[in-house]
Structures are given as C-alpha cells and as structure tokens.
Structure 1
Amino acid sequence: MRMDKHSPTRTSHDTANGLALAVDVRNATGQPTLLFAHGFGQTRGAWNAVAATMAAHGCRCVSFDSRGHGESDRVPGGEYHMQQFVDDLLSLAHAQPEPPILVGASMGGLLGLVAAGEIRPTPFRALVLVDITPRWETSGVERILAFMQAHPDGFASYAEAAEQIAAYLPQRRERKSEQQLRPLLREGADGRLRWHWDPALLAGGLVSESERYQPRLLSAAAKVEVPVLLLSGERSDVVSHHTVDEFLALVPHARHAEVPGATHMLAGDANDAFTAQIAGFITSLPKASTWPAPEAACAQDKEERGRVCRYTTE
C-alpha cells in the first residue's frame, strides 16, 4: 500500500554510544528538511499535526524520540546528562541529506541553541525555537516537573490518565482518547499504566544541570548566525516578556511572534496558528542554493579548523 506524504515511515537512528532513537520521516524526498525536537517529557508524537501539514506542503519532516523518551532506548544505569542530548541532536542533523531547519520545543530548542551557537560549520539552516529562551521562568518549569513527578505509581486506566492531563491542561477543550494516550503510557507487570519516559530522567543529574547550563546557553545564543524565529505562547509561564527581550538583545537578527491564547504547550494549544508561523518563516528564508554545499562547507572547515567533515554525500 502506497503511503502518502502525511504518513510517517518509522525508522531508527543509532547514537554514538549505541542507543537507538525512534524516528519518523514524512515525505522523504521533500525539501527543505525540518528536524523536530520535542520538549522534556514529550515524544515525537507532539509534532504529528504540524509535521503532516508541512510534509503535505512539500517539506521533508523528521521527528524523533529523545533518549529515555517514548520508544527510544533508555540509558543503562540511568545516567542522563545534557551533553548526551546535544550530541544526539547533532548526530541526527548530520545524518540528513542537507542542513535541516530545526524546530525545537522547550528542551529541544535549548539543545538546538547550543548546537547552532557552538558548532561550525553550522548544523542547521535555521532555527525555530518554541516557547523557550536561554533564561526561563523557574516557576513554569517547576510546574511541569511537578506534574511529571506526581504519579510515580501510574494510573489504573487510560480514563484516569486523561483526567489528570485535563486538570494539567485546562485550556484544552477535548480530553485525550485511549488511542491518543497509548503512545504516552506503558503498561507495567503490575498492570498499571506509567508515563513513557524513564523515571531516571527525573531522579538523575539532567534536571539539576538545567540551571547551571544557562551561562552556556546565553553564550551560545550570542553566537548564532542562522535565521531564527522565536515563537512564544501568550499565556506561557516558562517564557516572559523579560526573557524574550533578553534573547532578542542577544540575537538581534531573530524574529519573535507571540501566539494568542497559547501556553507553553504551543503546538497542542494552537496548532493552526503555530504551523502558519513556521510556514511563513520557511518561505522567507534564503533559497537553499545560496547556502554552501555541505561538502564544501566541510572542506573549508577542515582546512581552517582541522575538524572532521560532518556532512557527507554518497
């Protein structure tokens, strides 16, 4: 049966240390390539609607589950660190046929900032940051973590899980169905349904590292040279006018758009408006032909810095 551009092809990507990341590819021959990086505690499913729409409009759309999330492998021993996630994102970017446009939400956007600011040649053609800035509002992040930590023993049913999500996201009109929840929950040997993420993500050093990463993130942001679109939710408690202004001072060529009525969960709250912003941004970018060919950029970088070429052609 022939798959259309909206339907994902499931594949996997092996990281440098042997973990397999679950990956969906839509419209494999399309251009440009959009690489979607989800937030902490999410899965690649968070991008289903926008990826299907952008694939139908001709883009190649790649989304993935970060290590310890969804269907991707968990780290043996539960030792998670931010640099591992940065390296995974770089590995995926370099595996694409061209430098992708990164669409990164929350954690995914922070990883993209580090990579775009610190790596040369740049691994991305452009950045779309979804409700995240190098410095964030601590209270908003604490609210997210509190929800993630609230049900260590899981749920007796999908209906119970849907009720808790509805309480956490009161702005959503419809409750999630069992079909929508199945990718987000795992059934344990005791019959209880637990979230898809590795509990060690919350217990280990990753969460405690986040605040210490802010100086690195601020420094990286100031070095970003590619086009940037920052999308924020009007009702977000993670970014604020203060953190947005600080970011725009660091990255003066960046654009900013606020999505009316949306919270930190931008894509889920206002997907049509969110997708329209991304589509408009992509249309405004320089044509790909004006960018150095990957192999040329690598050759120049190799000569100037002695780095290993990251983009290769068969």
Structure 2
Amino acid sequence: MIERKAISFVGAEGNRLTGDIWDGGGQPVVFLHGGGQTRRAWDATARDVARRGMRAIAVDQRGHGESAWVESGHYGFHHYGEDAAAIFRQVHERFHTRPAAVGASLGGLASLTAEMRAGPMLDALVLVDITPRLDPAGVDRIQGFMGARMEEGFASLEEAADAIAAYLPHRAPRRSLEGLRKNLRQGEDGRYRWHWDPAFIKGAVNINSGAEALMQELIAGLPELHLPVLLVRGMRSELVQESHAREFVSLAPAASYVDVGGAGHMVVGDRNDVFASEILKFLGRDQAA
C-alpha cells in the first residue's frame, strides 16, 4: 500500500505551499485543485495514479488549505500561474523529469498559464472542466456561492453540508461529514469557515483582477500550444459549455476532450470513477494495476 507523505514547495513570492505525495516511483503528476478547494479533493484520484506506478503530488494553492495566505494579497490568475511554474520547476529538479499536471478550474488555468508563459515545462496536461473561455453566468454563480457565507461561516458541519446540498442538488447526499471537514477551518468562535483566504474573493488583487486580459492571451496562444492536453468536461457543467470545449480542441493542436455524464463543474467529486479512468488512459497507464 502506498501511503501519503508530506511534501512542500516554495511559491513565486517565497510563499509556503503544502502538499502530499503518493510515491509510486515513476512519472510525477502534479494535481492542482479548484478555487475554494484544497489538495484533499484529489485523495482518491492520487491513490489510483500512484497504484499505476506514478508519483502523485497534490498541492494546496496559495491562500488555500494549509498553504500560506500571501501577505501581498496577490490572488490573480497570473499569480497562481507563477506559483504553478515554481512547483513544476521544483518537481523537475527533484525527480529529474518533466511532470504531467492535472488541474481543476483554477488549478487548470494556473497550469495552462505556467506552460504557455514559462514553458515548455510539462509532459502532458489534464484540464478538469476549464478552458480560457468561461460562461459568465456560471462564474457568477460559483463565486456567489463561495462568497455568501465567507465571513459569517457555519454553526456546524451539518449546516455547511446543507448549503452545499442546496448548491449541488444533483449530487448524492454525503454519507459522512469527515470529507467536508477538510475544506473548513473552525475559528475561535466555534464557527466553521471555508479553508481559504477571503482576500481570494474580496481583496484588492483578487481572482477577477486581470482575468479577462489573461483569458484573451491564453486563447490567442492556443495554436502554438503543442503539449498533449485532455479536457475533461462535466456534461452538466455550468462553467464550460460544449461550444467552449469544441473551440479549445479546434485551437490547441494536440488537445482532445471527453464529456463525463452525470457530472457538473465538480467533476472529480461527482464521478471520480470515470474521471480517474479517463486520466489514466490519457497518461498512458491504463494497464491493469
């Protein structure tokens, strides 16, 4: 059995980035979570990847989980891209080979930005329900949910679970609250709040700062992106429409995409079985464990 071990990195501003590694001994695969999530969202997938002989490395991005809240308050997409580039360089230095990357939403755009601005850095890239072209209404809905209880928090884990269930009515009810606990921190007042820096949403340099210009830059550069890319889209996604996916693969020469039925934007949480199978095939390790 491959056990999870701690690993750490230094971000672009000298910021501490906390991670886990499941060391299967081969190709390193860096997992970067979506906005508002933590590295623990990848636990099941990372174990599957490690069992197939790869090194699965999941990292809390700046301001999330156990990674440092940056003093500068810099939480724009391009700052996450700079951190991703720093992680990829350090992984390459430690394991002497280019890593592959799997990025959900924010993590996907961070990985794509790193590759297109500072690459070539990666061996392959999996984008989980994200392209540089996003549905504005979907963005507003996601950020609205994230910000609604950002400061007030929740009186209990049950209250937080009820809020998530209302937001994701298609997902089966949670059998345990322990998984949810990983995404929350309990304050001195006893209330539970999301495990990320509120400046991510409301700071002077938040996730929306410079986002439109960066997205246009990425779209314009896709014809020069020759990296193998797999776009995994949730068929019920509120963020990535089918037309966005088709545009992406038409522009990026080595890109392909697959739809995951029954999944929304949170593809990994909705259908991890299908998701893990697809990325293992893409990474070339779909042989029996």
What is the TM-score with the length of structure 1 in the denominator? Answer: 0.85
Partner residue in 2 for 1:173:
172
The answer to whether 1:124 aligns with 2:122 is yes
Write out per-residue CA displacement over residues 76-117 of structure 1, whole angstroms, 9 at most, x where no aligned residue.
153323332111111111111111111011111111222222
Q: Which letter maps to 2:65?
A: G
The equivalent residue for 1:231 is 232
Q: Structure 1 residue 284: deviation in Å? A: 7.7
Q: How does 1:193-212 map to 2 (within 5 A)?
A: 193-204=192-203, 205-209=205-209, 210-212=211-213
Check whether the contact 1:163–1:175 (CA below 8 A) recurs between aligned residues.
Answer: no
Match of 1:11 in 2: 7
Kept in 1, the 8 Å contact 2:237–2:264? The answer is yes
**2:41, 2:269 within 8 Å by CA — same for their partners in 1?**
yes
Instruction: Please list, as runs of the form range in 1=range in 2, the aligned pairs for 1:138-149 lying within 5 A after superposition.
Output: 138-149=136-147
Q: Secondary structure at the match of 2:37?
A: coil
**Whole-Å separation in 1 of the counterparts to 2:231 and 2:208:** 25
1:153 aligned partner: 152
Matched, 1:23 2:19: yes
Equivalent-residue separation in structure 2 for 1:138 and 1:183 (angstroms): 29
| Equivalent residues, number | 279
**Aligned counterpart, 1:308:** none
Number of the residue aligned with 1:245: 246
Aligned residues of 2:101 and 2:126 also touching (Cα < 8 A): yes
- 1:1-314 correspondence runs (5 A): 4-5=1-2, 7-27=3-23, 30-96=25-91, 97=95, 98-120=97-119, 122-151=120-149, 152-175=151-174, 177-204=176-203, 205-209=205-209, 210-283=211-284
Q: Distance in 2 between matches of 1:26 and 1:281?
A: 19
Q: Would you say the 8 A contact 2:225–2:253 is kept in 1? A: no
Do 1:136 and 1:239's aligned partners in 2 also have CA atoms closer than 8 Å?
yes
The Cα shift of 1:275 comes to 0.6
- What displacement does 1:172 show? 1.6
Provide the secondary structure at the position in 1 that maps to 2:64: coil
User: In 1, Cα distance between the equivalents of 2:165 and 2:185?
Assistant: 19
Larger radius of gyration: 1
Runs (5+) with no aligned partner, structure 2: none
- CA-to-partner distance for each residue in 1:13-38, whole Å, 9 max, x for gaps? 122422111110001x5211111111
CA distance in 1, matches of 2:109, 2:200: 17
**Pairwise CA distance, 1:176:** 6.0
| Cα distance in structure 1, aligned partners of 2:223 and 2:166 | 38
What is the identity, as a one-letter code, of the residue corresponding to 1:24?
A: D
Write the letter of the residue equivalent to 2:145: F
Q: Name the CA distance, whole Å, in 2 between partners of 1:250 and 1:230.
A: 13
Point out where structure 1 has 5 or more consecutive residues left out of the alignment. 286-314
142-151 or 167-176, which deviates more: 167-176
Runs of at least 4 residues of structure 1 off by over 3 A? Answer: none
Corresponding residue of 1:303: none
Q: Percent identity?
A: 42
TM-score normalised by length of structure 2? 0.92
Q: Tell me which amino acid in the other structure corresponds to 2:8.
A: S
Report the RMSD for the aligned CA atoms in angstroms: 1.7
1:141 Cα deviation (Å)? 1.2
SS for the counterpart of 2:111 is: helix
Amino acid of the residue matched to residue 132 of structure 2?
P
**Alpha-carbon distance between aligned partners in 1 of 2:280 and 2:194, rounded to the nearest angstrom:** 32
Shift in Å, 1:258: 0.6
SS of residue matched to 1:132: coil
Range with bigger deviation, 71-80 or 58-67:
71-80
